[in-house]
């Protein structure tokens, strides 16, 4: 695809984005995401789980570590690490009181007690496939009952992992990616798997398939034939990704797939595909419910909200530095009834502010601290200035190196090497003398015209130790470099703060019409490109756009 094609795709994406924005209503205005990954060592976040009892308590996992915050992401603590091992973390689930944490990994199920202060492995499957845990469900009324989904079916325990049993009536080599319980009847479970949706009426003992994928399950057989297949990547191949059951008063079952969202309103007896208007991709990886049956989807193109009455989607991507969203969860804000969304992404963990930020009405009750924190994931001005200096090669250290080199040169001698050929080295008439006689040879030099010799000389200019003439040239070059550096720093500083003002303006006073929104968005991209030109695309690379 040529440059013109790329620009065309970008413009179309912007048009679709703003078209989706137009359907936002007053009950659920657009939200602004805040990067809250400070002090988290890993950028590649795979899953997030929010405590329903204390929404300030949130857990996240990367490939090899578990983190927790108890103050709504002001700080994070690392609870468990598998670094320097080949183990990989897949999913994280909390007990109802969030005091017990369950982490499904490539090497079994781990349980963290006392908010992750103490860990133990409570499940290890029979064989490599069953050992990989992708899904965990904990009974809300009895946390001794745990159901897990593996690469080879379902296992369940009634005594918190002391004894495990295999779920019955599930096809062999069924990869289970998600398990959800009916909030009103904890014994009723649904799972989504590589060959459809299964339902259990007895807490996971027996299962029956209530939705079958159109693609035959044999199509997944090759996943188990290659011994070198990276099982941590197999989940990307599965078409069914996530399942959840809505609140009791709605009783909908939602199934997230690689081809969109599917809903059942009759306990799994029939399923309906939802529309895709406003959805920039049908590849849905995770779903969550907040604000009384409002459904949100994590995709490879950002976060979207499903507007059920209109059967269309809204994009919620402002503030995200990456569109690669892996997981979503929701909670409330500081004891209020305001909903907060959390997202795990390929570039950190994000959450929405403690209130909805409207990009339609312009109403905004954010604090200055919350507004500024929306840009905490972006590089600071000092970082941008430092990169601009290095990229332009006008750093002050360069001038100091010039001066040191000039001073060192004064200590080096002037070396001269000469070679003489056909020179007379015996040119005197005095040949030799001893105590008995002395001989004088006149015009009888036998070496004339046949002499050869080398000469080496070293000379120092001692005055250069006090003042080197090269310093004059360096002074002139340094004045030009300082002027160039000041020009670059002034320009990158101007672009940086102009871009920041544009971001704040788009949040605090969002334009109401489409063309105004498009104009501001393009202006923001222009300012970003200006900074990229002075830093070698550094800003876009940091934001994950290159």
Question: Does residue 175 register a pLDDT over 70?
Answer: yes
The mean predicted confidence, pLDDT, of the chain is: 78
* pLDDT-derived band at 370, boundaries 50, 70, 90: low
Match 């695809």 to its residue by tokens. 1
Q: What is the pLDDT of residue 292?
A: 67
The total of structural domains in the chain comes to 1
Of 30-39, 269-278, 298-307, give the lowest mean pLDDT range: 30-39
Q: What is the pLDDT of residue 134?
A: 94
> Is 342 part of a structural domain of the chain?
no
> Is 51 part of a structural domain of the chain?
no
> Is 479 part of a structural domain of the chain?
yes
User: φ and ψ at 368, to 5 degrees?
Assistant: -60, -40
Q: What is the mean pLDDT of residues 366-385?
A: 73
> CB–CB of 441/429 below 8 Å?
yes
User: Which string of DSSP letters, residue by residue, matches 314-382?
Assistant: EE--TT-S-S-EEEEEEEESTTSS-EEEEEEETTEEEE--SS---SSS------HHHHHHTTTTSPPHH
- Here the tokens at position 48 are 């997030």
- Here the tokens at position 167 are 């779920």
Q: What dihedral angle (degrees, nearest 10) is formed by the CA atoms of 36, 42, 47, 52? A: -40
Of 34-48, 114-128, 443-457, give the lowest mean pLDDT range: 443-457
| Closest C-alpha among 132, 92, 345, 110 to residue 229 | 132
Residues contacting residue 262 through CB under 8 Å, at least 6 positions apart: 211, 254, 255, 271, 272, 273, 274
> Is 488 part of a structural domain of the chain?
yes
> CB–CB of 55/101 below 8 Å?
no
Collapsed DSSP state (helix, strand, coil) of residue 478:
helix
Its domain, for residue 543, covers 378-413+460-546
CA 287 to chain centre: 20
Q: What is the pLDDT of residue 374?
A: 64
Of 5-9, 53-57, 229-233, 239-243, give the lowest mean pLDDT range: 5-9
CA–CA dist 209, 220 (Å, integer): 17
Q: What is the mean pLDDT of residues 148-164?
A: 94
* pLDDT-derived band at 357, boundaries 50, 70, 90: very low
Match 């049908």 to its residue by tokens. 282
> Is 156 part of a structural domain of the chain?
no
Question: Does residue 378 register a pLDDT over 50?
Answer: yes
> CB–CB of 138/115 below 8 Å?
no
Q: What is the mean pLDDT of residues 264-281?
A: 90
CA–CA dist 70, 333 (Å, integer): 13
> Is 385 part of a structural domain of the chain?
yes
Burial, 337: exposed, middle or buried (Cβ in 10 Å; 0-12, 13-18, 19+)? exposed
Number of separate helices (H) and strands (E) present in the chain:
8, 32
CA–CA dist 32, 315 (Å, integer): 11
Q: What is the pLDDT of residue 60?
A: 96
Q: pTM of the full predicted structure?
A: 0.63
Question: Does residue 410 register a pLDDT over 80?
Answer: no
Q: What is the pLDDT of residue 17?
A: 43
Of 66-70, 121-125, 141-145, 412-416, give the lowest mean pLDDT range: 412-416
DSSP class of residue 275 equals P
Q: What is the mean pLDDT of residues 80-104?
A: 93
* pLDDT: which is higher, 335 or 155: 155
Provide the H-helix boundaries in 106-238: 128-131
* pLDDT-derived band at 514, boundaries 50, 70, 90: low
Q: Which of 223-232, 524-533, 537-546 has the highest mean pLDDT?
A: 524-533
Q: What is the mean pLDDT of residues 287-310?
A: 87
CA–CA dist 183, 252 (Å, integer): 11
| Closest C-alpha among 301, 353, 299, 306 to residue 327 | 299
Task: Determine what percent of the chain is predicted with pLDDT higher than 70.
Answer: 69
Question: Does residue 281 register a pLDDT over 90?
Answer: no
Question: Does residue 18 register a pLDDT over 50?
Answer: no
> Is 181 part of a structural domain of the chain?
no
What confidence tens digit (pLDDT) does each residue in 493-506 have?
Answer: 889 988 888 877 77
Of 3-7, 261-265, 324-328, 516-520, give the lowest mean pLDDT range: 3-7
> Is 84 part of a structural domain of the chain?
no
């Amino acid at each position: 695809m040529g440059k013109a094609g790329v620009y065309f795709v970008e413009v179309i994406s912007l048009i679709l984005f703003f078209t989706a924005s137009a359907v936002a209503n007053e009950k659920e205005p657009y939200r602004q995401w805040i990067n809250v990954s400070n002090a988290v060592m890993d950028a590649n976040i795979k899953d997030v789980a929010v405590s329903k009892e204390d929404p300030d308590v949130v857990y996240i996992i990367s490939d090899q570590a578990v983190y927790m915050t108890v103050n709504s992401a002001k700080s994070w603590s690392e609870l468990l690490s598998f670094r320097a091992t080949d183990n990989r973390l897949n999913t994280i689930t909390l007990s109802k009181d969030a005091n017990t944490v369950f982490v499904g990994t490539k090497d079994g199920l781990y349980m963290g007690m006392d908010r992750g202060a103490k860990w133990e492995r409570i499940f290890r499957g029979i064989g490599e496939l069953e050992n990989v845990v992708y899904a965990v469900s904990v009974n809300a009324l009895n946390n001794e009952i745990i159901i897990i989904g593996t690469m080879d079916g379902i296992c369940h325990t009634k005594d918190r992992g002391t004894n495990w049993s295999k779920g019955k009536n599930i096809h062999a080599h069924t990869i289970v990616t998600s398990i959800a319980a009916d909030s009103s009847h904890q014994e009723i479970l649904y799972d989504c798997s590589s060959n459809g949706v299964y339902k259990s009426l007895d807490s996971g003992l027996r299962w029956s398939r209530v939705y079958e994928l159109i693609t035959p399950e044999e199509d997944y057989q090759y996943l188990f034939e290659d011994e070198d297949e990276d099982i941590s990547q197999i989940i990307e191949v599965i078409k069914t990704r996530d399942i959840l059951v809505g609140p009791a008063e709605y009783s909908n079952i939602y199934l997230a797939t690689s081809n969109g969202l599917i809903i059942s309103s009759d306990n799994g007896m029939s399923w309906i595909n939802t529309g895709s208007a406003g959805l920039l991709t049908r590849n849905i990886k995770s779903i969550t419910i907040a604000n009384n049956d409002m459904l949100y989807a994590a995709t490879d193109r950002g976060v979207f909200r499903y507007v059920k009455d209109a059967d269309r989607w809204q994009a919620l991507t402002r503030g995200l530095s990456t569109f690669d969203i892996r997981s979503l969860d929701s909670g409330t804000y500081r004891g209020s009834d305001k909903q907060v969304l959390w997202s795990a992404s390929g570039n950190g963990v994000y959450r929405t502010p403690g209130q909805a930020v409207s990009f339609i009405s312009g109403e905004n009750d954010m604090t200055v601290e919350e507004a500024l924190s929306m840009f905490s994931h972006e590089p600071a001005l000092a970082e941008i200035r430092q990169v601009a200096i290095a990229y332009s090669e006008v750093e002050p250290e360069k001038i100091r190196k010039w001066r040191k080199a000039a001073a060192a040169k004064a200590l080096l001698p002037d070396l001269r090497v000469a070679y003489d050929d056909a020179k007379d080295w015996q040119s005197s008439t005095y040949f030799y003398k001893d105590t008995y006689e002395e001989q004088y040879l006149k015009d009888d030099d036998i070496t004339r015209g046949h002499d050869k010799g080398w000469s080496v000389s070293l000379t120092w200019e001692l005055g250069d130790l006090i003042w080197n003439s090269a310093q004059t040239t360096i002074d002139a070059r340094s004045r030009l470099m300082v002027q160039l550096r000041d020009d670059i720093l002034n320009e990158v500083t101007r672009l940086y703060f102009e871009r920041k003002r544009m971001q704040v303006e788009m949040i605090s006073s969002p334009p109401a019409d489409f063309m105004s929104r498009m104009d501001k968005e393009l202006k923001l991209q222009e300012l970003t490109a200006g900074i990229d030109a002075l830093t070698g695309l550094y800003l876009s690379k940091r934001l994950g756009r290159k």
